[in-house]
Each structure stands twice: as C-alpha cells, then as structure tokens.
C-alpha cells in the first residue's frame, strides 16, 4: 500500500515466492511488507503440506500474505476461502478475474475477507474487481509484455482510474521480471510491487557500488599499513 506521512509516500515491496529460506532472508532486510503465493509456487518448493507452508510464511511475514484458491466455481471458491482465512490473521485470498471469481469476490468482501483479484489483464477486469470490493488487484505485467502488450501501461491506467474515482483498492504490480519493472511500477504509481527473490537482490546490486567498495577497502588497507 502507499502510506502517506506528511509529504512522504511509500510503494511497498512484496515477495512473490513460497520459498521459506528466501522469505526469512528477505525479512531480515527489513523492507518486505507482504508475500504473494500460489499453488504453483508452493509446488515448486516440493512442499508436502500447503496449509503448513502458508502458516509458516504468515509467522515470518506479518503483513498481507496472498493465498490462492484452486476451485473454479463460485461456491467452491467461497468455501475454500472461508477455510484458508482461518489459517492466519494476515491471509489475503487470491481470486482469479473470472465471472465466478467476480461473484466470489463480491460475497467474500462483504464478509470482511480481503481479496486479491488476480490474473488481471485489462482495465475492465480491474474496475470490476474494485467495484466488487477487492482489497487488491494484481495486473500481470510480465505476461502482458510476453504477448507484445504493454503491461506497465495497464498498471498506470488502473492507478489513474482508481484515483479519479477515489477507489480504495490497491494495485499490486505482479509478474515482475526484472528490476526495471520495479522502477516503472513506482513511476506508474503502483501501491505495491511483488517480486521474485532474484529480482529483489538485483534491485540492490550495481557494478559501480561493487567497484566503489573494492576501491575503498583497497585504499583503507594502504592507509592502515602506513
């Protein structure tokens, strides 16, 4: 979320993973506000217990942790969501931007369950998700870029419409592929960018920083030996 304090505005960084070691390491950096996961990410880590994995993540990261339902029909989505939110107080339910997902989002949001309206690829989907009461909407930047579309322009358009109509839904720039995506997300006004661990590390790295550190250490050694 963007939190304004005086003249200060912050774009939050989420980690897009189910890797416990990566989440612990990122948490130590003190800059991760939440986590986004899905069954594919959990499966990638060869986790044997989905619920246990999510509970462990929620114990490390106290901000929003998005957990995706795997059902396709509205009532099944709702049933799963109601169960998943009991796993931890910071769970957010990821619901796909489908007709069934829109109905589920509307019902769940009225129950006070926070929904991340995910797999969003159009402004229409984002607008409908917000009207259904979604706490977050996740436009998938990288996947749009893959088909020759402009994913970051969609983020900018969604933010602009939400601001114009004073909609409280927050925009999560998702499917981030490289550090420049994070720069563009910040310029577009995204409330959140959710990034893989590799991209997070790339964001802090710069060859000139490495050269500068090496030079400073070399100069210090020369001084200390005199």
> What pLDDT is attached to residue 46?
84
Report the b/e string of 62-81 with b at 16+ CB within 10 A: eebbbbbbebeebeebbebb
Please report the beta strands in the chain, taking only residues with DSSP state E, as ranges in sequence order. 3-5, 8-10, 12-16, 32-36, 65-68, 91-96, 115-120, 136-139, 170-173, 192-195
Q: Clarify whether 79 is annotated catalytic.
A: no
Q: How far apart, in whole angstroms, are the C-alpha atoms of residue 60 and residue 19?
A: 12
Alpha-carbon span 110 to 170, nearest angstrom: 17
Strand ranges in 58-202 using DSSP code E only, listed in sequence order? 65-68, 91-96, 115-120, 136-139, 170-173, 192-195
pTM of the model: 0.90
Quote the domain boundaries for residue 64: 3-224
Residues of the chain with pLDDT under 70: 1-9, 224-226
pLDDT at 9: 59
Query: Which domain CATH number covers 35?
Result: 3.20.20.70
- Catalytic residue from among 28, 94, 221, 226: 94
Other CB atoms within 10 A of residue 184 CB: 20
Q: Which two tokens stand for residue 138?
A: 């996740």
pLDDT value of position 2:
41
Number of domains in the chain: 1
Question: What confidence score (pLDDT) does residue 226 get?
Answer: 60
Pairing state between β 3-5 and 8-10: antiparallel
Say how far apart CA 76 and CA 187 lie, in whole Å. Answer: 38
């Amino acid at each position: 979320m963007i939190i304004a304090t005086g003249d200060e505005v912050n774009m939050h960084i989420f980690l897009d993973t189910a890797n416990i070691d990566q989440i612990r390491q990122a948490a130590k950096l003190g800059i991760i506000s939440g986590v986004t996961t899905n069954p594919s990410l959990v499966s990638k880590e060869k986790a044997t217990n989905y619920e246990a994995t999510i509970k462990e993540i929620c114990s490390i990261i106290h901000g929003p942790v998005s957990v995706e339902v795997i059902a396709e029909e509205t009532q099944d989505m709702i049933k799963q969501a109601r169960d998943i939110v009991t796993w931890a107080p910071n769970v957010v339910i990821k619901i796909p931007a489908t007709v069934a997902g829109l109905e589920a989002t509307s019902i769940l949001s009225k129950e006070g369950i926070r929904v991340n309206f995910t797999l969003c690829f159009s402004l229409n989907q984002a607008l409908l998700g917000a009207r259904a009461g979604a706490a977050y909407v996740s436009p998938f930047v990288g996947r749009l870029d893959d088909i020759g579309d402009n994913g970051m322009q969609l983020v900018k358009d969604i933010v602009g419409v939400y601001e114009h109509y004073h909609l409280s839904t927050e925009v999560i720039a998702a499917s981030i592929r490289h550090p420049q995506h994070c720069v563009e997300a910040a310029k577009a006004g995204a409330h959140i960018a959710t990034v893989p661990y590799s991209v997070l590390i790339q964001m802090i790295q710069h060859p000139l920083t490495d050269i500068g550190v090496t030079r400073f250490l070399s100069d210090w050694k020369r001084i200390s030996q005199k």
